[in-house]
Structure 1
Amino acid sequence: MNTNRRDFLRRSLAAALGGAALYSALGSLRVVAAAANGRRYTFGDYKALVCIFLSGGNDSFNTVVPYSTAEYSAYLAARNGLATAGGLALAQSAVQAQNLDALALAPGLPGGPPSDGGSYGLHPSAAPLRALFTAGKMAVVANVGTLRQPTTQAQYQAGSVPLPPQLFSHDDQSICWQTARPDDANADGWGGRIADILYGANTGLAPMSISLANENRFLRAAVVSPYAMDASGVEKMSYLGDGAESWIMGDNPGGAAAYRALIAEGTQAHILERAYAQAAGAAIDNYEIVSAALDAAPPLATVFPETDLGAQLQMVARLIGVRGALGMSRQVFYVSVGDYDTHDGQIDTHADNLAQLAQALVAFQAAMDELSVANQVTTFTASDFGRSLAVNGDGTDHGWGGHHFVLGGAVRGRRFYGRMPSLLADANPDDTGHGQIIPTTSVDQYAATLASWFGVGASDIADIFPNLHRFDAANLRFLG
């Protein structure tokens, strides 16, 4: 194992500080300099961020639903027309049975009952999350979305303020959410930018950023290479091609020795060869480190649901369980689940999606309790965008703002944060004019709050989120 790889990367980055591409990707040379300095931060504790990306655009207006009379009437009209049957509206009694009984506002602190004075509950399929909310381990952050600056209906319709590019496009808005840089399509992810700042606080050589859902923009960084794993474990490297056994398994010692020689540091003449060798060497090192730690760990007692998301979060829990063996004080994880693009057949599909989400989140939180790190791990949802408030037959179109969940022992839970949007079908001041709800909380604010709790200093937060100063609150204070 080459213990100097991190120093090599740091030196390489420092030599590239003048590059315009790096400046564009990170938003500020100070971020790059901080990454090159890698050990400015030290921590005496452990923390992890776990991003759950709901790919396709979650319909949050059928996830967190009003049941109080005035708000439900507006919701019913928007989701069903003026009919009382059919459409997408959930039954008032079913929502009330899953009521989210929020705590009152505390003096000097944000967060409390829904800002519109209404009463809200969960979609019945998300019922397992109600206990977490009631226990103070979950909060709802209202109407979050990609923004370049605060935007009103009049400004949107007049085109008088800059908007995120290609609004309502899956690919573009996923990138905007995962980078918190709607002004820069080439930006690295905000999870990756956080990792670039904090990675030096870890004492081990294991990867700080781990994806259980393949490559993604959220973890892309200038220094820290994200590590992609399968939910079933670390994939073995097979340098001989499909079907060949991994050299790591010892089945081809001659081939293994030859491959080691090919990727040995300092033996490649071309820069692309060196880059490949570095990547291959890192993959081998990571395999050895992570697989050894997982193999030595006792199994978790917590039972996870046998679903895609359940399997991903179970592996995240196992990795958190071996944090000590990996030398980790800070870790960032990315998991994702799809099928949220509910243009039709939403009633059944969305119910299945929310059931999978709720069951997996409850199991994961139980695992954090089992590992005694519930206060040190914060899980949060993200998505391409919310769905439209207006319906199209038995589905919804691409929207903009949407509600999100934040979970963990550090969350100031049993509260709603941010401003709840109007649900009026007509003359809605929060509507673009086409059924999409304009966000009232920016991704920048949501992400910066998580980054601050994670240990990123104020000056570095300003560099990671250069548009944050445009919004009235840099920290939403949903984490204590």
Structure 2
Amino acid sequence: MSRNASSRRNFLRASCGVLACGGAQALFPQLGLIPSALAQSVPATGYKALVCLYLAGGNDSWNLLMPGGGNAWNLYRDARNGVYATGNTSGLALPAANGTGFIANQTTPAAIGINGNAYGVNPFCPELAQLYNEGRLAFLPNIGSLVEPITRATYSGSGARRRPPQLYSHNDQTSLWHTGGNNLQATRGWGGMVAGRTSKLASEMSGLPPVITLSGQTRFLNGTSTISTPLFPFTLSTSSTSPAASLIEYGISNRNANQFQTARQSYLDELLEAASPQPFTDEYRSLVTRSIELANDVINPAFATIATDDPVNAPFNGLSGNNLYSQLRQIARMIKVSTDASLANPINANRQVFFVSIGGWDTHDNQISSIGATGHHGRLQVVSQAVNAFFRSMQAIGQANNVTLFSASEFGRTINSNGNGSDHAWGGVQFAVGGAVNGGIYGRYPSIALNNSLTNPVAGSDPTQGECFSRGQFLPTTAVDQLGATLARWMGVADSDLPSIFANIDNFASGPYANAAATPTFAHFSRTIPGLMNGI
């Protein structure tokens, strides 16, 4: 038997031993952060944090923000197969903000009007509408992955421009949202790269990396410091008492050792030996130990110092069972122990990037299944309530101006109905919330009409606001890179450093297609989205 085969056998045997002994769920997510204990970067001043809220599956965001009324709503209604009602269950449209078309107990409630009913917010999202009216929420219509500005005329054919690979693919478009480019093989995400360029040394934060996930490992948080040291996310759970996963049951540091812990420790040592040949084994073992001690000696004790009646420990107040709120509440606690000097606080962070996610957005079936908060409506209600609760907790602890939450989803969905739901498309609506966010609509909200184009406009529409294909698959008029670059600048990344994170950013600011004559539908010919964030 070859040495490689023998090593592989030993590796698998040790892995099975670890699994059999328990605690693997705590071990493997944290192995990714091991190198982060050595991460270094040039720190920015003060404290700021980004929170990426990922809506996994492709949110039908044209029913989050829709036309409020008038002819724009009529086009929307017709394109969405009519208003959903007991007699039209294939319809995806919602009643207009002024109530036009609303039939009590037969259709969903009318949309909530904003901007004088120019737009309507989904009726199950009153909290998001309120945040918008307070000037703390911004909508970004028709945003999506792009390589460079594009129109229907330049989508294909001899003069075609570059476009993202594997459009309409969940996995591939998720990767492009997370990495800010068009390379599906990229392993570093723009959230991790932003954190790596602005955060203090991990050693100044008791070894805690500035990238933290509550929803599993994600490429979005992978990055490097300014000295090219790998940066990987730390995993938190939603537990109130032990938010950081621990391997105390492995007997590391001789804590409460017993015969089972001794066996677990033996298997762990063998696993490390098989996975990492000398001279790395000892260093990996040491780093694993330090990662575990970070949980046992820093994170969990720090959370325990938060007063029971602190706003970040607020009860669910009707949000029981809202897993997204559980994730966001844990982020609020981490922000508290990272910034509040009155606590016995060993973290003292200056920059943090968080990741949370919620699924259920791949609504090919039963998108609207009743007039109540079910299906897509129910998902949006969960988001609206959780985001509002998180923002209010940031206000209560004085961090609202320093924390920005933004939504993301791999793509929008088709405007017309497939009979029971909607299918994969391209551009969609996202939002950003925070004290530093200037509320409003940023970008171009298109006429919601099928098969609209500059060369063959739909009657009564304005195709210069955005074009789409036959089922309403909108070509984005704002790039993911532009949103990412805007938030990166707010976090403290130098403008000159943006191309090292977003390789395509200058395709939208300069070059042959970054002008109204070449791409008349594109919203902002600039690296960042003008006016979205204070201070940039």
Scaled by the length of structure 1, the TM-score of the pair is 0.82
Matches within 5 A, 1:127-206: 127-158=126-157, 160-200=160-200, 203-204=204-205, 205-206=207-208
The Cα offsets for residues 45-67 of structure 1, whole Å up to 9 and x where unpaired, read as 11110000000011110110112
| Residue number among 206, 209, 218 corresponding to 1:207 in the alignment | 209
CA contact (8 A) 1:344 1:394 kept: yes
Call closer, same or farther: CA 1:320–1:248 in 2, change over 3 Å: farther
The Cα offsets for residues 251-270 of structure 1, whole Å up to 9 and x where unpaired, read as 3179589959969x99x852
CA distance in 2, matches of 1:144, 1:279: 41
| Percent identity for Structure 1 against Structure 2 | 34
Call closer, same or farther: CA 1:7–1:353 in 2, change over 3 Å: closer
Call closer, same or farther: CA 1:99–1:271 in 2, change over 3 Å: farther
CA distance in 1, matches of 2:385, 2:478: 27
Partner SS, residue 210 of structure 1: strand
Call closer, same or farther: CA 1:371–1:74 in 2, change over 3 Å: same
CA distance in 1, matches of 2:37, 2:292: 17
CA contact (8 A) 1:96 1:120 kept: no
CA distance in 2, matches of 1:82, 1:130: 21
Partner SS, residue 154 of structure 1: coil
CA contact (8 A) 2:328 2:356 kept: yes
CA contact (8 A) 2:94 2:110 kept: no
| Residue number among 446, 454, 457 corresponding to 1:421 in the alignment | 446
* 1:83 positional shift: 9.8
Partner SS, residue 317 of structure 1: helix
CA distance in 1, matches of 2:195, 2:507: 24
Unaligned runs of 5+ in 2: 1-33, 103-108, 225-229, 340-344, 369-373, 455-466, 509-524
* 1:298 positional shift: 1.5
Q: Which residue identity lines up with residue 444 of structure 1 in the other structure?
A: D
Q: Which residue identity lines up with residue 360 of structure 1 in the other structure?
A: A
CA distance in 2, matches of 1:7, 1:399: 37
* 1:323 lines up with 2:330 in the alignment: no
Matches within 5 A, 1:148-297: 148-158=147-157, 160-200=160-200, 203-204=204-205, 205-222=207-224, 223-232=230-239, 233-237=243-247, 240=250, 250-252=255-257, 259=265, 270=278, 273=281, 276-277=284-285, 280-287=288-295, 288-297=297-306
Q: Which residue identity lines up with residue 301 of structure 2 in the other structure?
A: A
* 1:68 positional shift: 2.3
Q: After the TM superposition, which segments of 4 or more aligned residues of structure 1 sit over 4 Å from their partners? A: 5-8, 81-85, 94-97, 246-249, 253-263
Matches within 5 A, 1:379-418: 379-413=405-439, 415-418=440-443
CA contact (8 A) 1:53 1:382 kept: yes
CA distance in 2, matches of 1:8, 1:207: 7
CA contact (8 A) 2:44 2:199 kept: no
Call closer, same or farther: CA 1:446–1:153 in 2, change over 3 Å: same
Match of 2:362 in 1: 341
Q: Which has the higher contact order (CA 8 A, sep 6+)?
A: 1
* 1:283 positional shift: 2.5
The Cα offsets for residues 174-218 of structure 1, whole Å up to 9 and x where unpaired, read as 000011121352241110111221233663122211100011111
Q: Which residue identity lines up with residue 386 of structure 2 in the other structure?
A: A
Partner SS, residue 155 of structure 2: helix
The Cα offsets for residues 20-71 of structure 1, whole Å up to 9 and x where unpaired, read as xxxxxxxxxxxxxxxxxx343341x111100000000111101101122111
CA contact (8 A) 1:247 1:253 kept: no
* 1:426 positional shift: 3.9
* 1:433 positional shift: 3.7
Q: Which residue identity lines up with residue 387 of structure 1 in the other structure?
A: R
CA contact (8 A) 1:237 1:248 kept: no
CA contact (8 A) 2:76 2:447 kept: no
CA distance in 1, matches of 2:472, 2:264: 61
CA distance in 2, matches of 1:7, 1:376: 24
CA distance in 1, matches of 2:397, 2:254: 31
Match of 1:89 in 2: 93
Q: CA RMSD in A?
A: 2.9
Scaled by the length of structure 2, the TM-score of the pair is 0.73
CA contact (8 A) 2:191 2:220 kept: yes
Partner SS, residue 172 of structure 2: helix
Matches within 5 A, 1:15-164: 38-43=40-45, 45-80=46-81, 86=88, 87-92=91-96, 93=99, 98-101=112-115, 119-158=118-157, 160-164=160-164
If you compute each CA radius of gyration, which structure gives the higher value, 1 or 2? 2
CA distance in 1, matches of 2:236, 2:395: 24
Aligned residues: 425
Q: Which residue identity lines up with residue 336 of structure 2 in the other structure?
A: G
CA distance in 1, matches of 2:37, 2:326: 35
Match of 1:475 in 2: 528
CA contact (8 A) 1:199 1:224 kept: no
| Residue number among 472, 490, 497 corresponding to 1:435 in the alignment | 472
Q: Which residue identity lines up with residue 528 of structure 2 in the other structure?
A: N
Q: Which residue identity lines up with residue 331 of structure 2 in the other structure?
A: V
CA distance in 2, matches of 1:457, 1:464: 11
Partner SS, residue 199 of structure 2: helix
Call closer, same or farther: CA 1:442–1:328 in 2, change over 3 Å: same
The Cα offsets for residues 252-302 of structure 1, whole Å up to 9 and x where unpaired, read as 179589959969x99x85266357425523431331321111111213333
Q: Which residue identity lines up with residue 420 of structure 1 in the other structure?
A: Y
Partner SS, residue 299 of structure 2: helix
Call closer, same or farther: CA 1:69–1:271 in 2, change over 3 Å: farther
